[in-house]
Amino acid sequence: MRWSTLVKPLLALSLTANAGPLLAAAATAPTTTASAATAPATPAQQALTASPVDDIVAQYPAMMSQGIRDGLVQNAQVPEMVADTLGRMISANVKAEDINRRIVDNLDQNLTDAQLDAVKQWYDTPLAGRIAKAEIAASAPAAWPTIQSQAAALNKKYQGTERARLFDRFDRASRATESAVDTAIALQLSLSSALSALRGEPVTPEQTRSTLEAQRPALRGVVGQQVYDTYLYTYQSFSNQELGLYLAFLESDAGSAFTREVTGSIQQAITEPVTELGKQMSRMLTPGLSSGN
């Protein structure tokens, strides 16, 4: 798969779910039953609702579907009709409500009430709200061409500045590049069995894993540059002082714990159904391909 295409939807995760769930505006957070809608919210649910994470998660099935579909077509891995079908299947199997449920469960299990309260208090600040609005806007697929078109100019503008120097601190605290690389490799591995079956090739998961891990340094370079481009674009209207306050939150005990659980939960929740889908397709396709040989 063409890494640069697949990475785009992952960056929406990296720069919003990883680095900046900061807006107390999630009135459309999904509920599954009437009792769930009326039950008192747990501290984890309150923290998630106070953040823009669920706003981003709501877009994620479509972003995943389009990103993977485009990657398959542009790299000529499968015919366009097959890529379209696979994209629709991924969109149907990766559900926003399942992702949100996984996040809440892991937050409930692994963060204290005091940590969750600190997270919510940060999200309720005016600065957090402004940052969140910028992050949500930058995460939308419609913003990707703009980010790309402005990347060269922004890189030149901020070269050698404090904003550029703050990026390493931002990337460490947000785990943006690290998480995007891990998720991209996990998704490619999840799809490998289905793609091998579609091409009539032997399914060799260990060889695929070895090949993907060998590509990790190159992928990290591609992802790191895209994360940097998006960082410059997203926070250009904020002062270095404001960005410093944001980084202080990300580096705090509560902020770092929240970031860790959100990123891990989302990665699990999006790779597990894709892995199962890949296995199902492989089981369906391999016997037919084998009998035709």
Let me know: does 69 contact 84? Beta carbons within 8 Å.
Answer: yes
* Cα separation, 276 vs 134, whole angstroms: 35
- Minimum mean pLDDT range among 9-13, 155-159, 165-169, 181-185: 9-13
The structural domain count of the chain equals 1
Half-sphere exposure of 127 (CA within 13 A, CB side): 15
Average of per-residue pLDDT across 20-48: 53
Closest CA to 83 of 74, 72, 93, 75: 72
Residues 159-183: tens digit of each pLDDT:
999 999 999 999 999 988 998 888 8
* Cα separation, 188 vs 62, whole angstroms: 17
What is the domain range of residue 116?
Answer: 3-292
Residues 94-137: tens digit of each pLDDT:
888 999 999 999 999 999 999 999 999 999 999 999 998 898 88
Residues 77-103: tens digit of each pLDDT:
667 887 787 778 877 888 889 999 999
* Cα separation, 214 vs 236, whole angstroms: 35
- Indicate the angle between helix axes 43-50 and 53-74, nearest 10 degrees: 60
DSSP string, 88-136: HHHHHHS-HHHHHHHHHHHHHHHS-HHHHHHHHHHHTSHHHHHHHHHHH
Closest CA to 175 of 55, 77, 56, 263: 263
